[in-house]
Chains A and B, each alone.
Chain A
């Protein structure tokens, strides 16, 4: 956990002149974005504008995909100090541990529910086994999943429903006690009710973590966003004015213009 308390609103992510290309095909060209602590900060934009790529640039996940080339600067405020994410000396594993991520479709590992929670604690955090179950339980409670899975921790994670799987993935990220949470359309594969459950959860979590959420549902964006940015086709990011967020008609008009 970070030692210094961040006051809500201070910048914690600064992206300048970010270029990302896959196999020579540019996806992001000169993106500039500042994200403040807390949130949730919602990124919206048409499909294909590179929202996911932008999100994955923040925890260097793009480089796990073949043919990726990244240029530019992504700086995060980690543990109270500014760090250049792409600096050569930085360990991507530790970065990703501190910058948790939830994917568009639930991606439980092909193991039991309990092992899904403890495996990153053992391998990425190297915690002693005695601490695993406590942490896992706390995170599962935070994600509102504990009561549903407490008796079936040894069952395969694939046996859970879609909404439960997604909350498991969220809990798995929370168990590592990250400073940031990146969420890539976290409710895209869920039904209405499960989606609202996850949204409520995210609003609660925003008090403790800095949340960056990609969404392409405007309604969801309105419900979630404390701040909103629009990613446009050319790769520019436009901030949505805070006043616009409150007024639905004004927001829609603004969106039409931007997207």
Chain B
């Protein structure tokens, strides 16, 4: 029997130290990004330079490096996308939680989960060849415009919004169901009068994350907003966002003045997403506070319920329909190209798989590159993110905890293109200092991607743990379970679904991201990566490149085939993750000793 005296808590202390370390790394990540952006912006610190950058003209050839049109463009585009996506997301969530038929709830939620796995570049490709021509014919202009980009970004931000809201409602709603029913409330009343007002935090979080997603995306604006460096006068005008601007400048310019303005864009982007984050957080704490302080009052009118039902049905029809059209078009174009030759070209598949024979006109190197990216960044980000989430939910107190939470929130607001820019800057710095041969590579991409998805893992873990009732912790403590035993054996398994949701989101994000790798080492025709410091290919980049630069219709077909393959790959990842979860839950639920 263990003694009463405290000499057996060493394992516990090590665990605590490790968890603390994970949180510290999160803080360091943010410090590093901000530090790099600021360092490379230093040359701008004079009135003359500043007035050049903060102007309304972008003509690098004429010496004008104004970034204001792009700043306004970013805000307009993200704002309009959120305006579309947030109500739709809320409607979908209400539909799933009882305003629609129950048997449609599960498939609909599965569809939304699938949407998180639809790569941005797939949306971009389909939109460029379906939505853009449609807008051009139905309305006017070139079709590459604010409207098209906003529609697609709304679709992109939607799953984030729905999943956050769904998670929140799942925590709140079961506790209310019986009480509300016993009081004679209908399902709609329960949702609108009790569950939603208690989910104010979730509603805001969904908005913030959705906005960050729309603002931070580089690829959709790059592919379909037209990219003219101007202020749009109508939704049919072309615009350029900060994110797309960064990608375009890195790709085309190499003048030093253009580079500085690039980092100014980065700093501005960081600042905007930070301000939005902070502003909504303030709003939250102003309304919140106290156990019932989180209640936001909805208007009392009788029209609210029918309105909500209408919104729920509208979303439940419109979103799957839009998705069906887009993916249907993709399958129609891509399916004929599917086959072993799409992946392996003319090389015999077994040779490529077993002997590493080079594949030239197939997608094999790109597939392999993407898998490597997912594996490497998951190895880095999953332990870090989950550990720091646990640390903050269960261990951290006071100022250190608040600092870590703040930094991760900040990291969550950092657009993916900035992670790429960070990697790019890191290489620039290494080259100028002690490692002149440093170059963008697979490992760098994985590192930047890991930083990108860290907040997903962190937030999922933390919010799930914090949502668990306090009685559960007291019960465990009263039985003599240590803190780590309580966390690892009781709380984490209960919160497992939520944590795994975060992992899924993270993996999907790594597999589909193009913006980060665009700046950190992906190239066309790199072949199979032989080491971590090699250049590499990746599926999303191949699609992006072929969509813009295809020489022949066959190459475009290859792009559609690759898009379909990428979609299948992400679907496969998600399926595996879900199986893993259900297996874990089964093992934990039934006792081992009594079976």
Residues in A lying within 8 Å of B, measured CB to CB: 59, 61, 64-65, 78-79, 83, 88-98, 100-101, 103, 105, 107, 109-112, 114-115, 118-120, 123-126, 129, 132-133, 136, 153-154, 156, 172-173, 176
Contact segment of B346-354, B358-366, B449-457, B474-482 = B474-482
Asked, given contacts A83-B4, A124-B485, whether A129 binds B475 with beta carbons under 8 Å apart, the answer is: no
**Chain A binding surface SS class:** mixed
A105 nearest CB across to chain B (Å): 8
Q: How far is the CA of A94 from the CA of B348 in the complex (A)?
A: 64
Residues from chain A with Cβ under 8 Å of B473 in the complex: 64
Q: How far is the CA of A37 from the CA of B494 in the complex (A)?
A: 39
Residues from chain A with Cβ under 8 Å of B589 in the complex: 111-112, 115, 156
Contact A123 B485 (CB under 8 A): yes
Q: How far is the CA of A103 from the CA of B4 in the complex (A)?
A: 23
Q: Is B588 an interface residue (CB 8 A)?
A: yes
Q: How far is the CA of A129 from the CA of B8 in the complex (A)?
A: 21
Residues from chain B with Cβ under 8 Å of A98 in the complex: 4, 480
Residue of B nearest to A131 (CB): B593
Contact B593 A154 (CB under 8 A): no
B589 nearest CB across to chain A (Å): 6
Taking a contact as CB atoms closer than 8 A, the residue among A61, A114, A172 that contacts B594 in the complex is A114
Beyond the given pairs A94-B2, A109-B490, A118-B593, 20 more chain A to chain B contacts, judged by CB atoms under 8 angstroms and listed by A's residue number, are A90-B5, A91-B4, A95-B480, A96-B479, A98-B480, A103-B478, A107-B475, A109-B472, A114-B593, A114-B594, A115-B590, A118-B592, A118-B594, A120-B479, A123-B482, A124-B481, A125-B2, A136-B593, A153-B594, A176-B480
Q: How far is the CA of A61 from the CA of B594 in the complex (A)?
A: 30
Top 8 A-B residue pairs of the complex, sorted by shortest distance between their CB atoms: A97-B480, A124-B480, A115-B591, A114-B594, A114-B591, A120-B479, A101-B478, A107-B475
Q: How far is the CA of A90 from the CA of B2 in the complex (A)?
A: 12
Residues from chain B with Cβ under 8 Å of A172 in the complex: 479
Contact B2 A126 (CB under 8 A): yes
Contact A123 B478 (CB under 8 A): no
Q: Is B1 an interface residue (CB 8 A)?
A: yes
Contact B479 A173 (CB under 8 A): yes
Q: How far is the CA of A182 from the CA of B593 in the complex (A)?
A: 28
B504 nearest CB across to chain A (Å): 22
Q: Is B471 an interface residue (CB 8 A)?
A: yes
Q: How far is the CA of A65 from the CA of B471 in the complex (A)?
A: 10
Q: How far is the CA of A111 from the CA of B589 in the complex (A)?
A: 5
Contact A154 B595 (CB under 8 A): yes
Q: How far is the CA of A83 from the CA of B5 in the complex (A)?
A: 10
Contact A61 B4 (CB under 8 A): no
Residues from chain B with Cβ under 8 Å of A88 in the complex: 6
Q: How many residues of B contact A (CB 8 A)?
A: 33
Q: In chain B between 296 and 311, which residues have their CB closer than 8 angstroms to a CB of chain A? A: none
How many residue pairs link A and B with beta carbons under 8 A? The number is 119
Contact A89 B593 (CB under 8 A): no
Residue of B nearest to A105 (CB): B471
Contact B591 A112 (CB under 8 A): yes
Residues in B lying within 8 Å of A, measured CB to CB: 1-6, 8-9, 470-482, 485, 489-490, 494, 588-595
Taking a contact as CB atoms closer than 8 A, the residue among B474, B475, B479, B588 that contacts A97 in the complex is B479
9 A–B contacts, CB within 8 A, in A order: A83-B4, A89-B6, A90-B5, A92-B477, A96-B479, A98-B480, A119-B481, A123-B481, A126-B2
Asked, given contacts A90-B4, A91-B4, whether A96 binds B590 with beta carbons under 8 Å apart, the answer is: no
A96 nearest CB across to chain B (Å): 4
Q: How far is the CA of A126 from the CA of B9 in the complex (A)?
A: 14
A212 nearest CB across to chain B (Å): 14
Residues from chain A with Cβ under 8 Å of B471 in the complex: 103, 105, 107
Residue of A nearest to B474 (CB): A64
Contact A61 B478 (CB under 8 A): yes
Taking a contact as CB atoms closer than 8 A, the residue among B9, B474, B494, B594 that contacts A91 in the complex is B9
Residues from chain A with Cβ under 8 Å of B479 in the complex: 96-97, 119-120, 124, 172-173, 176
Contact A96 B480 (CB under 8 A): yes
Contact A133 B4 (CB under 8 A): no
Contact A94 B3 (CB under 8 A): yes
Taking a contact as CB atoms closer than 8 A, the residue among A78, A124, A154 that contacts B591 in the complex is A154
Residues from chain A with Cβ under 8 Å of B477 in the complex: 61, 64, 92-93, 96
Contact B474 A107 (CB under 8 A): yes
Chain B CB count within 10 A is highest, among A59, A93, A103, A124, for: A93
Residue of A nearest to B468 (CB): A110
Q: How far is the CA of A93 from the CA of B6 in the complex (A)?
A: 10
Residue of A nearest to B490 (CB): A109
Contact B470 A65 (CB under 8 A): yes
